[in-house]
Structure 1
Amino acid sequence: MTFDMNPRNLHPRSGWTEIWHLWTVIVPRRSINGQLVFGKVWRRHDGRDWIYKKFTEYNDEEVA
């Protein structure tokens, strides 16, 4: 468990705030060809805001 030493919040963060999970994001607009824009990202909550990271898919054959 980590502690946020920010003076606005002196309470320790919960353990779940350090867990990244895969999240599907749908952007409420359409691409050039008329399809919805969507993708997958890593997401976690830092106790105040959501933090997002790019998710890159890879092929098992490419890794070997």
Structure 2
Amino acid sequence: MSIDRNIGTIGPQSNWTEIWHLWTVIVPRRSINGQFVLGKVWRRHDGRDWIYKKFTEFDGEEAA
């Protein structure tokens, strides 16, 4: 019996892998006041792993 080791290889990327999603992350630790730490990040799948980027909010009035 032979085993095909190329089964798990990554083929061409789909279009959905190029889309960034805004994702809420909960860090498994508690803040000083006892609440969970959470934040938002941009997340995209590259066909193999998830890639994360920092999400920075801005005030629309300041940008104008």
What range is the shorter-chain TM-score in? 0.7 to 0.9
Runs of 4+ in 1 over 4 A off after TM superposition: none
SS in 1 for 2:17: helix
State the superposition RMSD in angstroms.
1.4
- Judging changes above 3 Å, is the alpha-carbon distance between structure 1 residues 19 and 25 closer, same or farther for their aligned structure 2 residues? same
Residue 10 to residue 57, structure 1, CA distance change in 2 (3 Å):
closer
**Matched positions, count:** 57
Bigger Rg over Cα: 2
Q: With the length of structure 1 as denominator, give the TM-score of the two structures.
A: 0.80
- Which structure carries more relative contact order (alpha carbon 8 Å, separation 6+)? 2
Report the identity percentage.
Answer: 79
Q: Which runs of 5+ in 1 are unaligned?
A: 1-7
1:25 aligns with 2:4: no
